[in-house]
Amino acid sequence: MRTVAGQAILVNVEASSVDFNNMLSLSETAAWLWEKAAGCDGEFDEPALVGWLTEEFDVDEETAARDVAEMVLQWREYGLVL
């Protein structure tokens, strides 16, 4: 993750070729979750992400779970997580 012009951006640098037209822009909350996940050496799952969100922000578990599922789907589509 890098911040470009105040915006958090993810690019899969493990891919055989980097497509700079296919970068993922993150919201402030998604960037916070990415940093939190990176801090645990990639050992996280969706329930952990939901737990982090509900502990840190004023959001109910159902909303957090829905948002995390959508976010993780994007991360998978970009090849950022398995």
How high is the pLDDT of residue 17? 59
Region 18-45: what's the mean pLDDT?
Answer: 84
What is the spatial distance between Cα 75 and Cα 78, in angstroms, rounded to a whole number? Answer: 5
What is the greatest pairwise CA distance in the chain?
Answer: 40
Contact between 60 and 51 under an 8 Å Cβ cutoff? The reply is: no
pLDDT tens per residue across span 57-78: 999 999 999 999 999 998 888 8
Measured between alpha carbons, how far is residue 38 from residues 31, 49, 67, 80 in Å? 10, 12, 19, 11
Residues forming a β-bridge with 8: 3, 26
How high is the pLDDT of residue 58? 94
Mean pLDDT of the chain: 86
Task: Tell me the chain's radius of gyration from C-alpha atoms.
Answer: 13
